[in-house]
Chains A and B, each alone.
Chain A
Amino acid sequence: MNRDLLPRPFILESNQAETPNVVTLNLVPEEEETFLFQPGQFNMLYLFGLGEVPLSLSSDPGQTRGISHTLRVVGGVTRGLAKSLPGSRVGVRGPFGNPWPLHLAKGKDLVLLAGGIGLAPLRPVIYHVLRHRQDFGRLVVLVGARSPEDLLYYRSLAHNCEQGLAEFSVIVDKGNPGWKGRVGVITHLVPKAELDPAASLAFLCGPEIMMRFGAEALLQEGLLAEQIFVSMERNMKCGVGACGHCQHGASFVCKNGPVYSLPEVETRWNIQGI
């Protein structure tokens, strides 16, 4: 049997609540010593008896013993995974898909534009840049969320910002009485970042509509479409481009993506139904 189609057993070491409906699962392989992946890749997580879901890897790729997945509870499988107790066994297939093109970002400023749970697939990029800080210029992290309660990894990102390792800006659609940060939409943060368009590369992850307008804001700042990369989300099933569930135009997101350059996807973004 194709090894890519066979789930390997992982043990849930711990889970932590990130927001009221977002949980990070920390998993370790039961049989293997290590699990290697690149930022931007995803796994298929199998909750035995319930089903399988595609989830981006959100842990430090330099930490090879265990992996993390941050998931939002949106249905039966994710609800089951979120409620799993430490010690539970979970099936893992992967890693699948192509990674963020970090090799192109070497020596350049890196701008990360994340909306909602879209920060999870970008977190390995942050870990990677922090591990190889001298290889990159500015690390600008722009995050949008629905409300202050929906912000992911806020403390660790703010800590990196305080250490001068990254520039971190947050904006929420709707504030609350205690919120002292920005209220508005993520595109508002782009001109404020004062980017050097010739020396920047941008990685975007979030709802497609957010990426569309985020990319537009970056283009307005002078970045070229080729300097902008997005991570697409589709209904991945097999993970190897065989079943066709994740088809996006002539491309299979699980195999040819999930990371694409803007020119590869932008023409399809405005077609209703794709």
Chain B
Amino acid sequence: MKLQDMLQNQYFCRGLAPQTQAFLLDCARLELFEPGQKLLKTGSLADEFYLIHQGHVAIEVIGPQAELLQVEILDAGDMVGWSWLVKPYRYQFDARALDQVQAIRFDARCLRGKIETDHEFGFHLLQKIIEVMAGRINHSRLQLLDLYQRHEAP
């Protein structure tokens, strides 16, 4: 499958104008990750983000007992990484491939440059990314609510 088709089929690209997708494609390339390989590393410079085409990616953090905690597991159609949009452009979490992962990698410097010069492109892209971010914040809030907690009853 061509990169262009892969991008077009992504959930993220639904509703994005062909021209916006073409702009994205200019900064995109396909990358493969082996199980255990990191896509993003906490504290490192946020110079890319990914759309997963195939496979599973764990968002991880070291917990209070120095244990590795999986905050979320993402899969095909999900976006990985938004620190590239927020200063100081450093990743806050690790992202690790759980199996063989195929992902579309976006060069953040390239995209930030395009956003600076073409505000309309930036507006449409940010609208999409905010949609993803809002979804993730809602998911995190629901996780905090502990939906399946056990109540005492008869």
Contact = CB atoms under 8 A, between A and B. Distances in A.
Interface in B120-154: 135, 138-139, 142-143, 145-154
Contacts of A78: 153-154
A9 interface: no
Contacts of B139: 184-185, 187-188
A209 interface: yes
Of the four ranges (under 10, 10 to 19, 20 to 34, 35 or more), the interface on chain B belongs to 20 to 34
A173 interface: yes
Contact of A173 (B58, B75, B146, B153): B146
A51 B153 CA distance: 12
A173 B143 contact: yes
A144 B58 CA distance: 17
Contacts of A117: 148
A183 B56 CA distance: 10
A274 interface: no
A180 B101 CA distance: 13
B148 A145 contact: yes
A192 B77 CA distance: 8
Interface string A61-97: 0000000000010111110000000000000000000
B113 to A, nearest CB: 31
Interface of A: 21, 51-53, 72, 74-78, 115-117, 144-146, 150, 173-175, 177, 179-188, 191-192, 206-207, 209-210, 213
Interface of B: 11, 56, 58, 68-73, 75, 77, 98-99, 135, 138-139, 142-143, 145-154
13 contacts: A53-B153, A53-B154, A72-B150, A74-B151, A74-B153, A78-B154, A144-B148, A146-B147, A146-B149, A173-B143, A174-B70, A175-B70, A179-B70
